[in-house]
Structure 1
């Protein structure tokens, strides 16, 4: 909801040179918190982890209008990342606990479908609220939605059977608890593909304005809507034919989308690139999640998903930081910035052909 308006808001505070940090600081914190959220999800349960993340989102959204310095804004972006570091880890693990092995792709597709509905409605609604009432009501509306999510979460039944009481020992990590080696292959593919997502989040608001699109959330709404229907289909297809074939199509589609966006000269061409981009994201998200769960052990499912999300944050953060640096507020740099995203997607496509056999196919977990 707030992302499309943040670059202009930061500029109004005098921080136009720090646009790349809007996304990268957020994802940095999310990535740093993932090992903790993964361990906590496995030990104390999925529900508390989800509640913590949503509560942080609520508190930070209330503070945005109050803290109006550039340094304060960037600090809030850093803290806000904890919300993404916790809630999705708990949510994905919770869904994975509930579904049978042969329907994981479909389940991840349904989960990501609802996430996409929020991603589609959020930017468009946020742009509308900001254009009519200003950005302060937008921040408060964001806080309101966070409260609603907490009310939903607390009504759920915990899926971890033998939970532990929270203790300080849960915040002590050894090196084996940071990264789950079993899921490095899908995590690397995810990192390479979401580099483009970081670029889009950071640069598209300026690109939209450059091409005369007044609602900076329109591109985000278009690409998210285009991803909706394909998510469940991609998930079901990966259940039937395997994760790798779907990922090959997804990575090639991502490369094509970034090239279309890079050389767009009109509103229509930019939005067409958004449609292809959305289709790629729609195939990528549920398939990567299901692939990660395939390769993980039940007892360490939270850790495995946390590893996947670390790769997600790293890819988005690096993409945001690199694109902001390369763009440097110069419109002539638009083609170069988005073309780099096409290159990283091609690298992911090539990597899929090099995987050993035990990383390519569905692998039941210890309980399956």
Structure 2
């Protein structure tokens, strides 16, 4: 008799709840009262490993059990509240008999690969600058090393897109997962700035192979009428990575080390490579899409919809780069603890995830993507302006929540726009350039403002104006064809 997925969720949930109580109730008093630092180091590592397993079982149950999305959301929230796992277990035990198990959906593996790729990115945010400093990197080079990942990621994205169209997404996913996991393990051997630069170049490039292939795989296996909703659901895993990644790496790195954090992420990548080899091989199909009427197959992918999607991707991540660069500085200048920056970033991620998973995701199949794109980029621009004027804890949380709404509207919109504007046989290349625009946006957002002689407030204001100008551009060019300028 097969064990029910809810049973696995209950077991890992109880283990997570127990490890959290031991960490808070035993390990932390041993450290802060009796000075035994090793207690938190050991228990923090154990709890981190259990938490990752718990998140994976939540994802497993979410796709195998026919139940409301509110259950996995509640399970995730319970992980951060003492004793909540035990209450949830009591509820799940009674509910288990009421929910049937549906056949395994291979899309779970694709979603998990997307999660891995983005948690690889977001886990770097709180720790990379300090890690670079710890190996003797100068202040001038720290910013360069942080941005080097996204810069080399661009070339990996483009190569992935080209090769995905030639050999199919499965092989590229396998190569990307294995090489990225190996690159993450290289951080254990870094002991100098030069070696760190080499590892960052390798890591960024091979990690860039994954996302275009994963999104192409997902897009080519989705019927037209559900593309917007499917992209929104995929965005859920991006949002979860944005929520979990910084908190996970920040906490675990403080208890262990940065290389240990990357080793944990590498193990997740290796696990997914094994699962992909088992479940995705038979789905490695190069689908022909003869239903496309808006693009003649002349060997080029560039048209109005595609270029708007690329610009949307660039400005989305330009905004993210500014947030990553300026928000911690803004919080620090207001006299708040640096932990508030992580909480604020999680706030926008939580809001975005809720919009992705709740019935609100139907909007992406019912409203033209150009409209939701315009609203999304507009809200993000307004949020940047408001951040510059926010000086209290509450106002910052409210504004980042508004930013999350804009992000949630924009991300599925540009993906849906790209899917509708490209045939399946050219979609890999389209996604390669798309995520190259993502990577360049991060580099531009974090580095350009660093070069300009602007205050923190002026940086947010300039970003807000740029985003609102782009929203205006989209409105007035809704019915015009864009041309590619070299």
Q: Does 1:2 align with 2:128?
A: no
State how many pairs are aligned: 343
1:195–1:344 Cα contact (<8 Å) kept: no
- In structure 2, distance between residues paired with 1:278 and 1:343: 18
Q: What are structure 2's unaligned runs of at least 5 residues?
A: 1-122, 288-297
The structure 1 residue matched to 2:352, chosen from 227, 233, 246, is 227
CA RMSD of aligned residues (A): 2.5
The 10-residue stretch of structure 1 (217-226 or 295-304) with the greater mean CA deviation from structure 2: 217-226
- In structure 2, distance between residues paired with 1:99 and 1:320: 35
- In structure 2, distance between residues paired with 1:203 and 1:19: 15
- In structure 2, distance between residues paired with 1:85 and 1:245: 29
Query: Which aligned pairs between 1:307-326 and structure 2 lie closer than 5 A?
Result: 307-326=433-452
Query: Which aligned pairs between 1:166-205 and structure 2 lie closer than 5 A?
Result: 180-182=301-303, 183-205=306-328
Which residue of structure 1 aligns with residue 243 of structure 2?
120
- In structure 1, distance between residues paired with 2:451 and 2:393: 24
1:252–1:345 Cα contact (<8 Å) kept: yes
Query: Over alpha carbons, which structure has the higher Rg?
Result: 2
The structure 1 residue matched to 2:386, chosen from 247, 257, 260, is 260
TM-score using structure 1 length: 0.84
Which residue of structure 1 aligns with residue 195 of structure 2?
72
Which residue of structure 1 aligns with residue 87 of structure 2?
none
Query: Which aligned pairs between 1:1-368 and structure 2 lie closer than 5 A?
Result: 1-12=123-134, 13-154=136-277, 155-161=279-285, 180-182=301-303, 183-210=306-333, 211-215=335-339, 217-232=342-357, 235-326=361-452, 333-355=455-477, 357=479
1:246–1:283 Cα contact (<8 Å) kept: yes
Shift of 1:101: 0.7
> Could you give the per-residue CA deviations for residues 285-316 of structure 1, whole angstroms, max 9, x where no partner exists?
11111110100012101111112112111211
Q: What are structure 1's unaligned runs of at least 5 residues?
A: 164-175, 361-368
Residues 130, 326 of structure 1: CA spacing in aligned structure 2 closer, same or farther, 3 A cutoff?
farther
Which structure has more relative contact order (CA 8 Å, sep 6+)? It is 1
Residues 287, 146 of structure 1: CA spacing in aligned structure 2 closer, same or farther, 3 A cutoff?
same
- In structure 2, distance between residues paired with 1:15 and 1:180: 42
